[in-house]
Every structure is written in structure tokens, then in C-alpha cells.
A = this chain, B = another copy of it.
Amino acid sequence: MVTPAVSRAERVREQVLDATVELVAAVGVERLSIDEVANRSGVAKSTIYRHFPSKQVLVVEAVHACTSIPLVTDSGSLREDLISCFSGMTKASYEGRLGDMMMSLMDAAQRDPELNRLVRAQTDQKRRFATEVLERAIARGEVSADLDVDLTVTLLSGPLVYTKLVRRMPLTNELIAAVVDSVLAGIDVGIAGGLRTK
């Protein structure tokens, strides 16, 4: 038999992580059981333990496996960049497989230091992307340097996360645009009026 494209070890690893993602999305982190992962993945429980020493590690790697880093655009327009940025980020993190895990992940992160670091790192990264977009706008004079960037990121992220996680409503492009436009409108008159030059 020829050597397959992916080794057996890799194939096993993928199957296990895939089943883990499905299970966490379905029953949550707390009720995730290795037995069930073994059943769904078709991988023996003993083999799972050979690859992942603990449930904690398994979940962390499963999250990593379905985490994608969205592109940060630089169109020259703050509005366009923010919409693009938040559209990419929210759809990557709060929809699809990762989105289905997110709530349970955040809950478990309150008690698990490892998961806490993971979730916090992802949150911080998303905030950094948005911060970059805002600081570029400041650099080119589109927005006043007096802008409270951190608050603005919260004003932008909050409503979207709240809509998805708490209200469990879809994150439409219309909503993202409406949030961005509303916050930009606030920036326009925010500090002393006419701070946004464009």
C-alpha cells in the first residue's frame, strides 16, 4: 500500500478533534466525555489518551483546530475597514463550529486557567485587530487622536457579541454596518464636534 497523503497519526488526530468540536458544541465542555469522543470519532479511548493527556488539552487543541485568523483590510476608509474587520472576526469566532462552542468555552474558562488563557488570548487578539484599524484612522487624520480607542472597541464589539451570545440572533451585515455607523456617528460629535475630518 502506498503511503497516504496524511499519516495515520494525523488522521486519528483530526478525527478526534473533529468529534470533540462536535461534542462540545452539542453538550458543552463540562459534559464532554472521552468515551463519547471515542464513539463518535471511531478512535479507541486508549488511543485518545495517547494523543491527549487530559480533557483540558483536548478541548484547547480542538478550539485551535477550528480557529482561523481573519484578514485585516486597509481600504483607507475607517468605515469599510471596521465593517470588514468585524464581519470577519465575528463570523470566524461566533458563528460556525467555533461559535457553537463559544458560550460553553467562556463558561468553562471561569474555572479552568488553561481555557481562560485561551479565550482571553482570542478576545485580546480580536480587540487588537480593531485597535489597529482605529489607530490607522487616527494616523491618517480621519479620527482625532483624542479618541478613546479602547472604549470604541468595546462599543463596537459589545453589541455584536451581545446579539450573538445573549440574544442568539444572527449577525447580519446590516447589523454590523448599523453598529459601525452608530459608533462612528458618536465619534463625529464625541469630543468637541467635527473630530472626524473626512
By a beta-carbon cutoff of 8 Å, the part of chain A in contact with chain B is: 27-28, 30-31, 103-104, 106-108, 110-111, 123, 148, 151, 154-155, 157-163, 165-168, 175, 178-179, 182-190
Task: List the number of copies, as a whole number.
Answer: 2
Q: Are B28 and A182 in contact (CB under 8 A)?
A: no
Residue among B28, B103, B166, B187 making CB contact with A30, cutoff 8 Å: B28
Q: Determine which of B28, B110, B155, B175 lies in contact with A111 in the assembled complex, contact meaning CB atoms within 8 Å.
A: B28
Chain B residues near A148: list those with CB within 8 A. 178
Q: How far in angstroms is the closest Cβ of chain B from A82? A: 14
Instruction: Report chain B residues within 8 Å CB of A160.
Output: 158
Q: Which of B106, B108, B151 contacts A165 (CB 8 A)?
A: B106
Distance between A40 CB and nearest chain B CB, rounded to angstroms: 17
User: What are 14 A-B interface contacts by the 8 Å CB criterion?
Assistant: A28-B111, A30-B30, A103-B106, A103-B110, A106-B107, A154-B179, A155-B183, A158-B159, A159-B159, A161-B161, A161-B166, A182-B186, A183-B186, A185-B187
The residues of B that contact A103 with a CB separation of less than 8 Å are: 103, 106-107, 110
**A110: which B residues are within 8 A, CB to CB?**
28, 103-104, 168
Q: Report B-chain residues with C-beta under 8 Å of the C-beta of A162.
A: 154, 157-159, 161-162
Pick the 5 closest A-B CB pairs, nearest first. A158-B159, A186-B186, A158-B162, A158-B158, A30-B30
- Chain B residues with CB below 8 A from A106, complex form: 103, 107, 165-166
Residue among A106, A151, A159 with max Cβ neighbours from chain B (10 Å): A159
* Chain B contacts for A189, CB-based, 8 A: 185, 188-189
- Residue contact A155 to B182, C-beta cutoff 8 Å: yes
